Amino acid sequence: MRFFAIAIFAFFVGMHQAQAQNFKAELKKLDSEIKAAYKNKKLTELEYSKLQREQDVILAAIEKAQADDIVTPDEKNKIHSKIVRSKKRLAKYKTNREVY
Protein backbone atom coordinates (compact mmCIF):
# COMPACT_ATOMS: atom_id res chain seq x y z
CA MET A 1 0.00 0.00 0.00
CA ARG A 2 2.83 2.37 0.85
CA PHE A 3 4.51 1.67 -2.52
CA PHE A 4 1.24 2.43 -4.32
CA ALA A 5 0.95 5.80 -2.56
CA ILE A 6 4.54 6.69 -3.45
CA ALA A 7 3.94 5.69 -7.08
CA ILE A 8 0.83 7.89 -7.30
CA PHE A 9 2.70 10.82 -5.74
CA ALA A 10 5.61 10.39 -8.19
CA PHE A 11 3.15 10.27 -11.09
CA PHE A 12 1.53 13.57 -10.13
CA VAL A 13 4.87 15.28 -9.52
CA GLY A 14 6.09 14.12 -12.94
CA MET A 15 2.84 15.23 -14.53
CA HIS A 16 3.20 18.67 -12.97
CA GLN A 17 6.73 19.05 -14.28
CA ALA A 18 5.63 17.98 -17.76
CA GLN A 19 3.03 20.74 -17.82
CA ALA A 20 5.42 23.41 -16.56
CA GLN A 21 5.88 26.22 -19.01
CA ASN A 22 9.10 26.21 -20.97
CA PHE A 23 9.41 29.88 -21.87
CA LYS A 24 12.76 29.59 -23.63
CA ALA A 25 11.35 26.97 -26.02
CA GLU A 26 8.33 29.18 -26.75
CA LEU A 27 10.65 32.13 -27.33
CA LYS A 28 12.84 30.10 -29.68
CA LYS A 29 9.80 28.99 -31.69
CA LEU A 30 8.51 32.56 -31.89
CA ASP A 31 11.94 33.78 -32.99
CA SER A 32 12.01 31.24 -35.82
CA GLU A 33 8.51 32.38 -36.90
CA ILE A 34 9.70 35.99 -36.94
CA LYS A 35 12.76 35.14 -39.03
CA ALA A 36 10.67 33.07 -41.46
CA ALA A 37 8.17 35.93 -41.88
CA TYR A 38 11.00 38.39 -42.54
CA LYS A 39 12.61 36.02 -45.03
CA ASN A 40 9.28 35.65 -46.87
CA LYS A 41 8.94 39.46 -47.04
CA LYS A 42 5.91 39.52 -44.74
CA LEU A 43 7.65 41.99 -42.41
CA THR A 44 9.48 45.23 -43.05
CA GLU A 45 12.95 45.77 -41.66
CA LEU A 46 11.56 48.15 -39.04
CA GLU A 47 8.92 45.65 -37.90
CA TYR A 48 11.56 42.92 -37.79
CA SER A 49 13.87 45.03 -35.63
CA LYS A 50 11.01 45.93 -33.26
CA LEU A 51 10.12 42.27 -32.84
CA GLN A 52 13.76 41.33 -32.27
CA ARG A 53 14.09 44.00 -29.56
CA GLU A 54 10.94 42.65 -27.98
CA GLN A 55 12.46 39.15 -28.01
CA ASP A 56 15.53 40.51 -26.21
CA VAL A 57 13.33 42.10 -23.53
CA ILE A 58 11.44 38.83 -23.02
CA LEU A 59 14.69 36.86 -22.76
CA ALA A 60 16.00 39.33 -20.17
CA ALA A 61 12.77 38.94 -18.18
CA ILE A 62 13.12 35.14 -18.28
CA GLU A 63 16.72 35.28 -17.12
CA LYS A 64 15.85 37.76 -14.36
CA ALA A 65 13.01 35.52 -13.16
CA GLN A 66 15.24 32.44 -13.16
CA ALA A 67 18.17 34.18 -11.45
CA ASP A 68 17.13 32.98 -8.00
CA ASP A 69 16.03 29.53 -9.29
CA ILE A 70 12.44 30.24 -8.23
CA VAL A 71 9.94 31.55 -10.76
CA THR A 72 6.90 32.91 -8.95
CA PRO A 73 3.41 32.73 -10.47
CA ASP A 74 3.47 36.51 -10.91
CA GLU A 75 6.69 36.31 -12.91
CA LYS A 76 5.27 33.45 -14.98
CA ASN A 77 2.16 35.49 -15.77
CA LYS A 78 4.20 38.53 -16.79
CA ILE A 79 6.48 36.50 -19.05
CA HIS A 80 3.55 34.64 -20.59
CA SER A 81 1.71 37.90 -21.30
CA LYS A 82 4.83 39.32 -22.99
CA ILE A 83 5.06 36.26 -25.23
CA VAL A 84 1.35 36.43 -26.09
CA ARG A 85 1.67 40.15 -26.87
CA SER A 86 4.61 39.43 -29.15
CA LYS A 87 2.67 36.69 -30.97
CA LYS A 88 -0.25 39.05 -31.52
CA ARG A 89 2.05 41.79 -32.77
CA LEU A 90 3.68 39.36 -35.21
CA ALA A 91 0.27 38.30 -36.53
CA LYS A 92 -0.72 41.96 -36.92
CA TYR A 93 2.48 42.84 -38.75
CA LYS A 94 2.21 39.85 -41.06
CA THR A 95 -1.32 40.68 -42.15
CA ASN A 96 -1.11 44.41 -42.64
CA ARG A 97 -2.12 45.50 -46.12
CA GLU A 98 0.96 47.49 -46.97
CA VAL A 99 2.78 46.87 -50.25
CA TYR A 100 6.57 46.74 -50.02
Whole-angstrom Cα distance, residue 55 to residue 21?
17
pLDDT score recorded for residue 67: 93
Whole-angstrom Cα distance, residue 26 to residue 41?
23
pLDDT score recorded for residue 96: 80
Q: Render pLDDT for 39-96 as a digit per residue (tens, 0 to 9).
A: 999 999 999 999 999 999 999 999 999 999 999 999 999 999 999 999 999 999 998 8
Is residue 30 within 8 Å of 51, Cβ to Cβ? no
pLDDT score recorded for residue 17: 45
Per-residue pLDDT, averaged over 6-12, amounts to 66
